[in-house]
Each structure stands twice: as structure tokens, then as C-alpha cells.
Amino acid sequence: MTSRPILLVEDNPDDVALTLRALKKNNILNPINVASDGAEALTFLFDGDDTQAREPGLILLDLKLPKVDGLEVLRRIKAGKRTSLIPVVILTSSKLEEDILSGYRNGANAYVRKPVNFAEFAEAIKTLGLFWLLLNEPVPE
């Protein structure tokens, strides 16, 4: 159960590298798939071969993405029959009230603002990983 993959939707390669490093430092060893824009995330989720192995246990989603933005990706995930129950954590730089609100309105399971300080960032990733991949009981398959 805990080895289900994480889908990281993030266009900034620096943030990808830092997120991967934070996961590794915190011994979160689940396989990680990276989609570098919204369209790629949707292709990964909806157009791949329909096997459980690809189904992420957690989606970390940036909001400001090229091609298809994060909110649209979120709407499509929550509208998809197969994907609607996957926990989606919005992981973004923005703490605009409008963004937070539309995140929750579109069915986000959590909203986390990326801290600038790496120690705090790593702590946030650790907490998220522990909660969603270990502590939280997922939807039965």
C-alpha cells in the first residue's frame, strides 16, 4: 500500500529537484512520477494503459502550470471516475485567498504553501508523505 507511486505535477525543475531531495531525505521511497505541465499530468492519468500500478497514491499538484493549469487538472482528476478518490495536495507558492478557495472548491484534499526555507520545505514534504501515504487510510481498492 505505501509503495503506491506519487505523482508530482511541477513545471519548475528546481522545485522538482528540491521535492525529490526532500522525499529522499525523509525516507519516503515510493516511486515518483513527474509531470512537468498540466497536459502531461492528464496524459499520464487518463491516456496510459489502465493498470493499477500507475495509479498514484498521492498527487502533489502545483497551481501555475504551462498548457493546462493546476485548477483545471484538479477538476479533471476529481471528475474522473477512476481518479476522483486519489488524494490531491496543492503544493504552490501562492497563498492568495482566491487560489486557496478555488483549490478547495474544486475538491483539493489539502493546500500547502511551499516554504522558501528548505528545512521547512523538507518538513512540509515529510508531514505530507507521512500523513497521506502512511497514516491516512486510503480508499479500499
Considering beta carbons, is residue 76 or 114 the nearer one to another protein? 114
Q: How far is CA 113 from CA 44, 97, 99, 124, 129, in A?
A: 25, 12, 11, 9, 15
Choosing from 5, 15, 54, 75, the residue that interacts with another protein (CB under 8 A) is 15
Question: What does the block give as the cell for 41?
Answer: 499530468
Which listed range, 38-46, 82-90, 110-118, 132-140, lies at the site for another protein (CB under 8 A)?
110-118
Rounded to an integer, what distance in angstroms lies between the CA atom of residue 61 and that of residue 114?
Answer: 11
Residue 11 CB, nearest approach to another protein (Å): 10
Rounded to an integer, what distance in angstroms lies between the CA atom of residue 136 and that of residue 141?
Answer: 15
Residue 16 CB, nearest approach to another protein (Å): 11
Is residue 121 near another protein by the rule CB under 8 A? yes
| DSSP for residue 126 | H
What is the binding site for another protein (CB under 8 A)?
12, 14-15, 17-18, 21, 64, 92-96, 114-119, 121
